[in-house]
C-alpha cells in the first residue's frame, strides 16, 4: 500500500503540493441513491410536493456543492471546474439515483467534487421530501469513474 499523500513523514495532515503537476483534462463521475416510499417517488417525479420542483433544486444543489467542495473538505484544492452535470433518475418504484459528472482542466482530480455533488444533491432531495417521508435512506455513494492525471483511469465494477 502506498503512503497517504495527505499525511507527512510525522503523521500530520497537510495539503498536497500540486504546483509541479501537469495540467490535464480530468473527469470524475459519482452516484448515490435515495430509497423512499413509492408514493414519495411519485410526488417527487410529478412535481407535487409543497416545497416546489424537487428535481430542479436537487440538480442546482449538486452543481453548487461541486463548486464549494474545497470549502467543505479541508484538504481539497479549489479547482477551476469547467463542467458539472447532475442527473436524477428513478430506479424502480422506490429509489432515485443521482449521478454527478464533473470536469476540470487542472493539476489535480475532481473525484471529491463529484462525490460531494451527489451527496449534497441527495441531502437536498431528503430535505425537500422529508415532510412526507422521514424514513428515506441515502446510500450507495461511490466513485464510478475517474480519468486523467498521473494515475490514469479508474472505473468501478458494476
1 in any annotated domain: no
Task: Decide if 12 is inside a domain.
Answer: no
**Residue 100, in any domain of the structure:** yes
Please report the pLDDT score of residue 9 as a whole number: 72
Please provide the DSSP assignment of 77-110 as one string.
Answer: PP--EEEEEEEEEEETTTEEEEEEEEEEEESS--
13 is a domain residue: no
Residues 86, 121 contacting (CB under 8 angstroms): yes
Report pLDDT for 14: 59
| This model's pTM is above 0.85 | yes
Q: What is the pLDDT of residues 38-84, one digit of tens each?
A: 999 999 999 989 888 999 999 999 999 999 999 998 888 889 999 99
Q: Which residues are catalytic?
A: 127
Residue 3, domain member (yes or no): no
Contact 111, 52 (CB under 8 A): no
pLDDT of residue 1: 42
In the chain, how many domains are there?
1
The CATH number assigned to the domain holding 116 equals 3.30.70.640
The conformation of residue 149, written as its DSSP 8-state character, comes to: S
In the chain, which residues have pLDDT < 70?
A: 1-8, 11-21
Strand segments, DSSP code E, in the chain are: 24-35, 81-91, 95-106, 137-147, 154-155
User: Does residue 158 lie in a domain region?
Assistant: no
In a domain, 106, yes or no: yes
Beta strand 137-147 pairing with 95-106: unpaired
Which range marks the domain in which residue 30 is found?
Answer: 24-148
Amino acid at each position: 500500500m502506498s503512503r497517504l499523500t495527505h499525511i507527512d513523514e510525522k503523521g500530520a495532515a497537510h495539503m498536497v503540493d500540486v504546483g509541479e503537476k501537469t495540467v490535464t483534462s480530468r473527469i470524475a463521475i459519482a452516484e448515490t441513491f435515495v430509497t423512499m416510499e413509492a408514493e414519495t417517488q411519485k410526488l417527487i417525479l410529478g412535481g407535487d410536493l409543497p416545497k416546489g420542483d424537487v428535481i430542479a433544486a436537487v440538480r442546482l444543489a449538486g452543481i453548487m456543492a461541486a463548486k464549494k467542495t474545497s470549502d467543505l473538505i479541508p484538504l481539497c484544492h479549489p479547482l477551476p471546474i469547467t463542467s458539472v452535470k447532475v442527473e436524477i433518475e428513478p430506479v424502480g418504484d422506490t429509489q432515485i439515483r443521482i449521478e454527478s459528472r464533473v470536469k476540470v482542466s487542472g493539476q489535480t482530480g475532481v473525484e471529491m467534487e463529484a462525490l460531494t455533488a451527489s451527496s449534497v444533491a441527495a441531502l437536498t432531495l431528503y430535505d425537500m421530501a422529508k415532510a412526507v417521508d422521514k424514513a428515506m435512506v441515502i446510500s450507495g455513494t461511490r466513485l464510478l469513474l475517474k480519468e486523467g492525471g498521473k494515475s490514469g483511469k479508474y472505473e468501478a465494477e458494476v
